[in-house]
Chains A and B, each alone.
Chain A
Amino acid sequence: MDNQPVIEVNNLHHTYPNGVQALHGIDLRISSGEYIAVVGQNGSGKTTLAKHLNGLLKPSLGQIKINGIDISPMRISELSRIVGYVFQNPDDMLFCNSVEEEISFGLKLMGFEQSEKQERVEKSLKRMGLEQLRDQHPFTLSLGDRQRVAVACILAITPRIFVFDEPTTGQDYFGGQSIMETIEMLHADGCTILIITHDMRLVAEQAQRVIVMNGGRIAIDAPPGEAFKQLDLLEKLSLRAPQITRLSQLLGWQGEALLDVPGFCDWVEQSWRTQDEAKRW
């Protein structure tokens, strides 16, 4: 197997034109098929980092390689075939009169031939479960459906890396669940996933690796079970483990952080069942 990382960030610095230094030397290796969550307080540099991966921002210093190739000379249109960027608000990228038109727009810009374009549109509609909605105007759809349309547009271009900027923000439970399922599906297809989020439940339940940003630097880079163990450090970084993780720690759990309700219940059930009958009341 190739050990070459799919994304390699070397000593990345970024200073905005107004003088704000948003990134101070980021080093990062991401392997193919990883599911990574980038978290950190507002202003810690998460989005700045992500926007370097699709060329929306250029490094002030340092270098980014994708599939071993330095991306700095690449155009955004070239990069968008490799890295799909899903904005927080799907309305930022939807403007056509039908779902189908919306999905074919990007393909048209990329110069795909009619037959291949149509094939890609069909595949993408099907994969995202949007076949019934193909003729609908995107703005008549629910937020969750619009978000799926936004993903479908990018999916049609078949990038192998997806960046999601705050995919669950402002969504209710059901909407959040639906986008989480979409991301999980892309990951199961072998795509490399990077999400930027404040949603610690999403991080705990889905991500394989958490990168905590603080003041333009990486403060923690670990699997969620390890990252969410460090309560005091998290608090300093303006973060907090999910409620169930905190509950287990308050009850004396000391191992790898328990990340979801079933995991917590397994532990409680097991320790309850192994209690002496007499001690059990």
Chain B
Amino acid sequence: MVSVIDVSQVTYQYPRKEKPVLKDISFTVPAGQFLAIIGPTGAGKSTLCYTFNGSVPRLFGGVFEGKVAVAGLDTYENEIPVMAQHMGLVVQNARSQLFSVTVEGEVAFGCENLGMPREMILQNIRKAMEFVGLEGLEDRQPSALSGGQQQRVAIACVLAMDPEVLVLDEPTSELDPIGSEQVMRVVARLNRELGKTIVLVTHDTEFAAQYADRVLVLSEGSLVCDGTPKEIFKQEELLAKVRVRAPQVCQAAFELRRRGLPITGIPVTLDEAVQLFRGLNGQPTGH
């Protein structure tokens, strides 16, 4: 399978820091995969994302070893504007990346900087706005939108440039539950309908379990686990060790198994949990 992200033996240390934040990380991401990266604060998740467009080490400096290629381009050797055509980065706090007085101007900005023809920009804006469900808000001020809408504007901004890969660094951590869900649905559709490769950094393991094809677990700069959500979230001890909270449905299965109930598998999504617990003894009775 063609890989769109190729990370090979990457070790990186920020300037004026004593220890590397990434330690000998290698993995590849096939085109069209939905990858989630989880791990505690300080594990190196965001830093890893910054290597995908080369801002680590190009903007941050420091000591970088190994190689990262996105869409076949070495991110150390290619300038960030070149990489921006292949990977779009959406950060945790959308407000920090929005600055225009209109949503339309905001979404156009990246395309304008790439020197796209006017007609194409207008078309891309329209398609991107429609895709994230914000059509009709073109003339609004981004700062006047809700947090969830702002996050979707940020997604539209990178989508308008039509990159192969979208990297989202904790896009829902500041949003209310339904705003989060709306953002995640858009991300899932980018993957399924447009075939975009998705890298999602999140603390929300319930979202990771529901949407991702594959989960990487980072801890203290090292890649400690790599597998499907099912393979990752059934490992109660490992998760506790790296201080990651499993989805509540997994925790319930772990606990009931300890209490001696015949739990045959570990569900990772709500739907799977409904199936599993229904099968346990017919439907449990209410009250």
Contact = CB atoms under 8 A, between A and B. Distances in A.
A275 B281 contact: yes
Contacts of B281: 271-272, 275, 279-280
A272 to B, nearest CB: 5
Given A170-B173, A251-B277, A272-B261, A239 B178 contact: yes
Interface string A158-178: 000000001001111111000
Contact of B179 (A238, A251, A261): A238
Given A172-B243, A250-B270, A41 B286 contact: no
B244 A173 contact: yes
Given A41-B176, A247-B248, A247-B252, 14 more contacts: A41-B146, A41-B178, A142-B42, A169-B173, A171-B41, A173-B243, A198-B174, A198-B175, A200-B177, A239-B178, A247-B273, A251-B274, A252-B283, A268-B280
Contacts of B176: 39-42, 198, 238-239
B235 to A, nearest CB: 15
Contacts of B40: 172-175
Contacts of B282: 275, 279
Given A200-B177, A238-B179, A269 B256 contact: yes
Contact of B286 (A43, A143, A255, A280): A255
B44 interface: no
B252 A269 contact: no
B287 A268 contact: no
Interface string B248-287: 1101100110010100000000100110011011111111
A43 B178 CA distance: 13
B248 A172 contact: no
A255 to B, nearest CB: 5
B245 A173 contact: yes
Interface in A16-50: 39-43
Interface of B: 39-42, 92, 146-148, 170, 173-179, 181, 203, 206, 243-245, 247-249, 251-252, 255-256, 259, 261, 270, 273-274, 277-278, 280-287
A253 interface: yes
B277 A247 contact: yes
Nearest to A235: B178
30 contacts: A41-B176, A41-B179, A42-B146, A143-B41, A166-B174, A169-B174, A170-B92, A170-B170, A170-B174, A172-B203, A173-B203, A174-B41, A198-B175, A238-B177, A238-B178, A239-B178, A240-B177, A243-B248, A247-B273, A247-B274, A251-B274, A251-B278, A261-B255, A265-B256, A268-B256, A268-B261, A269-B256, A279-B281, A279-B282, A280-B281
Given A254-B286, A268-B284, A244 B177 contact: no
Interface of A: 39-43, 142-143, 166, 169-175, 198, 200-201, 235, 238-240, 242-244, 246-247, 250-255, 261-262, 264-265, 267-269, 271-272, 275, 279-280
B252 A271 contact: no
A271 B255 contact: no
Contacts of A244: 248-249, 251-252
B178 A42 contact: no
Given A42-B179, A265-B255, A253 B146 contact: no
B150 to A, nearest CB: 9
B88 to A, nearest CB: 22
Contacts of B286: 252-255
* 6 A-B pairs with least C-beta separation: A173-B245, A42-B147, A240-B177, A238-B178, A271-B284, A244-B248
Given A238-B178, A247-B252, A251-B283, A42 B148 contact: yes
Contacts of A170: 92, 170, 173-174
Nearest to A244: B248
Q: Output the residue of A143, A201, A247, A275 with the most chain B CB within 10 A.
A: A247
